[in-house]
Amino acid sequence: MDKIISTLLILLWTYTGLDKLIRWKASRNAFHNQTFPSELAEVLAYAVPIVELLIALLLLFPIYRRWVSLAYFFPHL
């Protein structure tokens, strides 16, 4: 069960991260259309795809799966 959930999360985070990189202009414009300041939108346009791909990468390694899963399902810990 753990491997199935990890595989699904890897696919999810890889898809979303790569989609934001492949469609860079549209993704960047979407961040700039949000209500937060333009400077923050610019930082998030770079940071979000990188973090998404980093999460997918961490989930590939069993030692990090539990840590990433706990952070994902229990962000307040």
Task: Give the model confidence (pLDDT) of 14-32 as tens digits.
Answer: 999 999 999 999 999 999 9
* pLDDT mean across residues, the chain: 87
Q: For helices 38-59 and 24-32, what crossing angle results, to 10°?
A: 130
Structure tokens that stand for 15 in this block: 């898809």
Q: Quick check: 49 and 20 in contact, CB under 8 A?
A: yes
Nearest CA to 40 out of 31, 49, 53 is that of 31
Query: Cα–Cα distance between 31 and 43 in angstroms, integer?
Result: 9
What is the pTM assigned to this prediction?
0.80
